[in-house]
Amino acid sequence: MKFTALLGMAAALAVGGTGIASAQAPAATPAPAQLDTKKFNVIGTWNFLNINKKVEAPFWSEQLGAASGGKLTGNIKSITELNLKGTEVLRLLKTGVYDVAHALPIYVDDGAAVFEASDLSGVATSVAQQREILNAWMPEMQKVMRDKFGSMIVSTFAFPQQVFFCRDEISSLADIKGKKVRVQGVSQSDLVKALGGSAVTIPFGEVVPALEKGVVDCGITGTLPGYQAKWPEVVKTVVDVSLGYTAGFVAVNLASWNKLSKPTQDFMTGQFKKLEEAAWASVEADTKEGIACNTGNGPCSVGPAAKLKLVMPSDADRALVKKALNDVVLPEWAKRCGAECAAKWSETVGKRYGLTAKAN
């Protein structure tokens, strides 16, 4: 089932309907006169990253108001401006302090293993595959958002391809052995351990000094986010092997959503779809430009290109990632989520890609 249909069903269930009517596209876009007047309080992602600057902020600050004749607007504050820890984002959404939050599966503390399944390190090898995984696993995530956070997911996105950045020059993934690596999320930690490294969890904004001081030897992040966070100033190598994509989602507080009229809900459903399409369109381009910005092997529109050593993955490197995924990442996640959860993932997601999640 397509995500848009799932969103319609979730919206209808939230207001007591069956989901059948809402799963269909509205016959016509509601006219501004039919819309409520509402300013949404929104938490965005990091304000120095492309997705915030080019997608999130324009949507809430300009595009929504223009599309609604000024009836619907957004007051967006980035997680950077608010100086929040990841898990605080969904707690604030739950309490209704914010109406909408742009968040990551790794921010989910209650029901974390379920959300982790949408973004297991080493599974997605393309942008299209990451989006497909999110769509396939959406019903399970919606249950957690509704039951644990009083919210529902209305849109998805992802950051560029996750890769290794290292302080020293390395030539292959075999060189990760013995190194301390900054990770985000438990499955990245499992993957690093499977490669023989030591996983260290450090907030994104604190990685540069950690690399500079040698607290960690390497770090994992997206190709362009790494550049925009100034990682090239303290590293020498980037390894262009796909470790997956950091998935994200936009969630709305159900109490806020239920106060909106049906025409306004229909209108916002369409707007969230536009937001989603814009976000996903940026991922592929940002992945490629990130490599160019870090290495100087292509045009970089966001600043002067760095000159990092680029390590392209060999067949041996890809084999190491695959072995780590099957031998460690999937079994360890299966333990965290439980047998029933793992079996459901294997049936709905894993079978599409020849993967099975089962605890050893």
- Between CA 189 and CA 123 the distance in angstroms is 14
The mean pLDDT value for 253-281 works out to: 97
Task: Return d(Cα 223, Cα 328) in angstroms, integer.
Answer: 25
Cα separation, 257 vs 190, whole angstroms: 37
Q: Name the pLDDT band for 237 (thresholds 50, 70, 90).
A: very high
Whole-prediction pTM value? 0.88
Residue closest to 7 by CA, chosen among 226, 154, 212, 165: 154
Rounded to the nearest 5 percent, the helix, strand and coil shares of the chain are 50, 15, 30
* Banded model confidence at residue 6, pLDDT cuts 50, 70, 90: very low
Confidence label for 211 from pLDDT (cuts 50, 70 and 90): very high
| pLDDT at 248 (0 to 100) | 96
Is residue 143 a contact partner of residue 113, using CB atoms and an 8 Å limit? no
Q: Which domains does the chain have, with CATH numbers?
A: 3-20+34-160+246-287 (3.40.190.170), 163-244+296-327 (3.40.190.170)
> Average pLDDT, stretch 91-118?
95
Q: Hey, what amino acid is at 337? A: C
What was the pLDDT predicted at 33? 77
pLDDT of residue 219 exceeding 70: yes
Find out whether 111 and 144 touch, Cβ atoms under 8 Å: yes
Residue 242 pLDDT greater than 80, yes or no: yes
| pLDDT bucket at 77, cuts 50 / 70 / 90 | very high
Burial class (CB in 10 A: 0-12, 13-18, 19+), 47: middle
**Does the pLDDT at position 13 exceed 90?**
no
- Which H, E and C letters describe 247-307, residue by residue? EEEEEEEHHHHHCCCHHHHHHHHHHHHHHHHHHHHHHHHHHHHHHHHHHCCCCCCCCCCCC
Look-up: residue for tokens 């159900």? 254
The answer to whether 295 touches 305, Cβ cutoff 8 Å, is: yes
User: Nearest 5 degrees, angle CA 327-CA 223-CA 136?
Assistant: 55
Classify 203 as helix, strand or coil.
coil
Q: How far is it, in rounded angstroms, from Cα 358 to Cα 108? A: 22
Is the pLDDT confidence value at 350 over 80? yes
Location of structure tokens 């090898």: 125
Taking 90 as the threshold, does the pLDDT of residue 1 lie above it?
A: no
Average pLDDT of the segment spanning 33-50: 95
At residue 152, the 3 state secondary structure works out as strand
Query: Is the model's pLDDT at 201 over the cut of 50?
Result: yes
* pLDDT tier at 174, thresholds 50, 70, 90: very high
pLDDT digits (tens, 9 = 90+) for 325-334: 999 999 999 9
Cβ 156 vs Cβ 86: under 8 Å? no
Q: What is the reported pLDDT for 17? A: 32
28 pLDDT band (50/70/90 cuts)? low
Would the pLDDT of 217 be above 90? Answer: yes
Q: Which two tokens stand for residue 103?
A: 């968040």
* Alpha helices in 150-246, H assignment, sequence order: 186-194, 207-213, 223-228
Q: How far is CA 317 from the centre of its chain?
A: 24
Tokens of 187: 């499955």
